Structure 1
Amino acid sequence: MVGWSSSLLRVADLVAVILLTMLAIAATFVSESLLRTVVTIPFLFFAPGYSVVVAMFPHRRSSLDGERLFGSEALLLGIATSIGLAIIVGVNLEYTVWDIAAVPVMVALSSIALLSATVAMYRRLSPLNETSPTTFGGSSDRAKTPNIGDSIQLSSVIVAVSVLVAVLSVGVVALDPPRGERYTEFGLLTEAENGTLVADNYPSEISAGDQETLYFTVTNREMQTKQYTVVITLVATNEDGDAIQRARLDSFRNEVAAEETWRQEHTVEPLLSGERLRLTYLLYDGTIPEQPTAQNSYRELHVWLDVS
Structure 2
Amino acid sequence: MSKQSANENRAEQYLPTTVSKYFPSNIEIPGDIYAVTAYLIVANLLLLYVLPTTAVVPRALVGFPLLFFIPGYVLIAVLFPARETAVRLDGSRATSGRSGRRDRRGLAWRERLALSFGSSVALLPLVGLAISLIGLDYDGTTIVTATSFVCALGLVPAVVYRSREPPTTRFYVPVDSWIATLKNGIFKQDRRSAVVNAAIAVLVVTTVVGVGYAMVVPNNAESFTSVSLLTTNDQGELVAADYPEAINESGAELTLELESAEESTTDYTVVAELQRVDTAGTSATVTERATVTRMETQLAPGESWTRQHTVEPELSGEDLRLIYYVYEGDTPSEPSTESADEYVAIWVDVPQDSE
TM norm structure 1: 0.46
